Amino acid sequence: MVYNEKKVELLRQRYPEGTRICLDHMEDLCPVESGTCGEVQFVDDAGTLHCKFDNGRTLGVIPNVDQFHKIAQEQTQVDEQTEDIEESEEMNMSM
């Protein structure tokens, strides 16, 4: 699916670099697993969101073909803080 310039610009505004998304379902020969989260790196001229996923994979996500949702920034910050606390606790226990 290819979008016109106006649609691509809207996608770029909605999903700027660094936007966190979670994949719900992907139709692909080697899909990223449902529930995997990642970060938008850029939106190309065809409207594909190029993402780096938390599992290390990079793959283009196509709006209206692949199913995904944006993760609220507040939730991302809470998750990161929780990870930091857990890592800190693990370090303290191993000392």
Q: Where along the chain do its domains lie?
A: 5-94
Backbone φ, ψ for residue 70 (5° rounding): -80, 140
One of 2.40.170.20, 1.10.10.10, 2.60.40.1260, 2.30.30.30 is the CATH number of 5-94, namely: 2.30.30.30
Whole-angstrom distance, CA of residue 38 vs CA of residue 41: 9
Q: Where are the alpha helices (H) located in the chain, listed in sequence order?
A: 5-14, 73-94
- Residue 26 in this model has a pLDDT that exceeds 70: yes
Give the pair of three-digit tokens for residue 60.
């283009």
Confidence of residue 4 (pLDDT cuts 50, 70, 90): confident
Whole-angstrom distance, CA of residue 59 vs CA of residue 90: 32
Look at 12 and 30; give whichever has higher pLDDT. Answer: 12
DSSP secondary structure code for residue 28 in this structure: S
- Residue 81 in this model has a pLDDT that exceeds 50: yes
Residue whose pair of structure tokens reads 């191993």 in the numeric block:
94
DSSP secondary structure code for residue 71 in this structure: P
Over residues 27-78, the pLDDT tens digits come to 888 888 999 999 999 999 999 999 999 999 999 999 999 999 999 865 545 5
